[in-house]
Amino acid sequence: MPVEWTPNLTVGVEHIDEQHKTWFKKANELFEAGKERRAKEYINQMLDFLDEYTKMHFRDEEAYMAKINYPELEAQKKAHESFINDLAKLKSDYNQNNGNVLVIINANNMVLKWLTNHILNMDKKIGEFAKNL
């Protein structure tokens, strides 16, 4: 199942929405690489990119929330930390299983579920809060 950004995932803060779109695009490329059984090195590069991009996005998002005095910043930080740990575990599982692409393919649902739930249930509140400033 492809990981696709859809308009209902709009937060209403342009730079956050643009980063979310990029994240979905790159995650989809990773899952496609897994389905196509691309080389382990390529998939590791994709995992590294997603790890770094995710950390950068979360730093940007958290800085924005701090700037607007967003009241749920700490809950967001905890959710972000949990997801970063999940990504690290995904990469570790992939490498411990000798590059078994089934690990990547099976992770698709976890990532899709986390991202969409996080955006719909947590990130959208940032946009609503910012709109009322």
In whole angstroms, give the CA distance from residue 107 to residue 86.
10
Domains contained in the chain, number = 1
The amino acid that residue 80 corresponds to is: H
CA trace torsion 101, 5, 18, 113 (10° rounding): -60
In CATH, what number is assigned to the domain containing residue 45?
A: 1.20.120.50
In-domain check, residue 31: yes
Contacts of 19 (CB under 8 A, 6+ apart): 53, 57, 60, 61
In-domain check, residue 3: no
Q: Rg of the Cα trace of the chain?
A: 15
Per-residue pLDDT of the chain (133 residues; tens, 9 = 90+): 566 788 999 999 999 999 999 988 888 888 888 888 888 888 888 889 889 999 999 999 999 999 999 999 999 999 999 999 988 988 898 889 888 877 887 777 777 788 889 999 999 999 999 999 8
In-domain check, residue 2: no
